[in-house]
Amino acid sequence: MNQSRRALTLLGLAAASTLVLAGCAASAGADDGRLQVVASTNVYGQIASEIGGDAVDVTSIVSSASQDPHSFEPSARDQLIVSKADLVIENGGGYDAFVDGLIDASGTEAPVITAAELSPEWPEDADEDHDDHAEEGHEDHAHVEGFNEHVWYDVDTMRAVAQEIADELADLDPDHASQFSANAKAFGADLDGLDAALADIAAAHDGEQVFMTEPVPGYLIEDAGLVNVTPEAFSEAVEEEQDVAPATLLEALNLIRGGGVSVLITNTQTGGAETALVVDAAGEHGIPTIAFSETLPKGETYVSWMQANIEALSAALA
């Protein structure tokens, strides 16, 4: 989104929020004594629900596989929901920048948990780099160079996020602090199971090569002991919905045809001609293809979703 378009969007939100206030007030935030938690995506929304239990009401702004957080256009209703939040949870790292716009436009003073900043890989100079990009007029995406912002595929980061949610909720509602702490502990135990499953893959397939059309599951692949050989220019172009340069596409196809790649991983929510070409090439050379998503599939919890992804990866490698 360019600067003028973003400015118009925020102005439109501010104006439209007055019109929807009366009609949406009752449904935007329940007046039932529960804490109102707003999450950028249903991934963080489900985790917040698991930690908060019946003491919270959670709203996930992006909850459908048809919505892309990178380019999501928030509504006046979204602004109203954020304005009523007791706690806001975002991914950060440039992934869901629309949340920052909603926070600014709504004037909320609710605490904000930014998952990316809890990642062990978060660069110490990231805030400085973000400011430099903002001065250059690139704050719309605000990606941190060299950092994979898809941190929900990192079990360690999600463990830290869950604990941060429990701590923030305890500050807001001390009467339920022990409940939040117990739920976070139980969630952490479930994550230990994911770690064990990834360790099993690493023990059997350490060092095997993987081709990912996008960097979305990068942390999961690394924790499984696998090596991503995708040309960076290829995955960047696909993620940004740009054409892949012919030389880069040829490099990618040669990797697929070379016999060293054990599995091809695609994104269920994006694709294009170049992705189709590498998928076809993988099929021709007997390389299994699996697809991961960016948002939580309907009916899944975070843990069941990640477990299914790990099982799919293990089966493809086998």
pTM, entire model:
0.85
At 198-216, the pLDDT tens digits run 999 999 999 999 999 999 9
Residues of the chain with pLDDT > 70, as a percent, come to 85
Residues 263 and 316: beta-carbon distance below 8 Å: yes
Multiple choice CATH, 206-317, 3.10.200.10, 1.10.260.40, 3.40.50.1980, 3.40.50.1460: 3.40.50.1980
Note the residue count of the chain.
318
Q: How confident is the model at residue 142 (pLDDT cuts 50, 70, 90)?
A: low
- Residue 24 in this model has a pLDDT that exceeds 50: no
Q: Taking Cα atoms as reference points, which of 106, 120, 113, 96 lies closest to residue 48? A: 113
At 94-131, the pLDDT tens digits run 999 999 999 999 999 999 999 999 999 999 877 644 44
pLDDT at 31: 54
- Provide the CATH topology of domain 3-189: Rossmann fold (3.40.50)
Rg (CA), the chain: 20
Residues 169 and 87: beta-carbon distance below 8 Å: yes
- Residue 32 in this model has a pLDDT that exceeds 80: no
Give start-end residues of each CATH 3.40.50.1980 domain in the chain. 3-189, 206-317
Q: What is the mean pLDDT of residues 266-273?
A: 84
Amino acid sitting at position 101 = G
Read off φ and ψ for residue 276, nearest 5 degrees: -60, -40
Question: Average pLDDT over the chain, rounded to whole?
Answer: 87
CA 206/CA 176 separation, integer angstroms: 43
Strands 227-228 and 261-267: unpaired
Token reading at 206: 């350490």
Residue appearing with tokens 């790990």: 310
